[in-house]
Structure 1
Amino acid sequence: MRLHTTTWGAGDRLALLVHGIMADHRTWRRVGPALAERGYRVLAVDLRGHGASGRADSYATRSYADDLVETLPGGAEVAIGHSLGALTLSLAVRELAPRRAVYADPVWYLPDGAAGYRPELFTRAKRFTREQIRTANPGWDEVDVDIEVESVAAWDEATAHGLMDITGKDLLPAGPVVPSLVPIADPSSLVPQKRAALLSERGFEVRKVTGAGHTIHRDDFDGFMASLEGWI
Structure 2
Amino acid sequence: MRLHTHTWGTGDRVALLVHGIMADHRTWRRVGPALADLGYRAVAVDLRGHGASARGERADYVPERLADDLVDTFPDGVEVAFGHSLGGLALSLAVERLAPQRAVYVDPAWRLALGEGVSVDMFAEFKHATRGNIRMLNPRWDEEDVDIEVATLAAWDEESARALTPYSDRDLAPASPAVKSLVVLADPSTLVPARAAADLVERGFEVRTVKGAGHTIQRDDFDGFMASLDGWV
| Cα contact 2:80–2:100 (8 A) shared by 1 | yes
TM-score, length-scaled by structure 2: 0.97
| Cα contact 1:60–1:165 (8 A) shared by 2 | no
TM-score, length-scaled by structure 1: 0.97
**Aligned twin of 2:143:** 142
User: What SS does structure 2 have at the residue aligned with 1:77?
Assistant: strand
**Stretches of structure 2 lacking an aligned partner (at least 5 in a row):** none
**Aligned twin of 1:191:** 192
Structure 1 residue 49 and structure 2 residue 49: aligned?
A: yes
| Cα contact 2:8–2:42 (8 A) shared by 1 | yes
Deviation at 1:59, TM superposition (A): 1.1
Within 5 Å, give how 1:72-151 maps onto structure 2: 72-111=74-113, 113=115, 115=116, 117-151=118-152
Q: Which residue identity does 1:231 align to in structure 2? A: W
Structure 1 residue 203 and structure 2 residue 176: aligned?
A: no
Deviation at 1:117, TM superposition (A): 4.4
| Cα contact 1:75–1:99 (8 A) shared by 2 | no
Identity of aligned residues (%): 66
Deviation at 1:168, TM superposition (A): 2.5
Q: Which residue identity does 2:143 align to in structure 1? A: E
Structure 1 stretches of 4+ with a deviation exceeding 3 A read none
CA distance in 2, matches of 1:184, 1:110: 15
**Aligned twin of 1:4:** 4
| Cα contact 1:16–1:79 (8 A) shared by 2 | yes
CA distance in 2, matches of 1:38, 1:112: 38
**Aligned twin of 2:174:** 173
| Cα contact 2:111–2:171 (8 A) shared by 1 | yes
CA distance in 2, matches of 1:8, 1:112: 35
Q: Which residue identity does 2:3 align to in structure 1? A: L
CA RMSD in angstroms comes to: 1.0
Q: Which residue identity does 2:30 align to in structure 1? A: R
Cα deviations by residue, 1:4-26 (Å, 9 ceiling, x for unpaired): 01111001211000000000000
**Aligned twin of 1:20:** 20
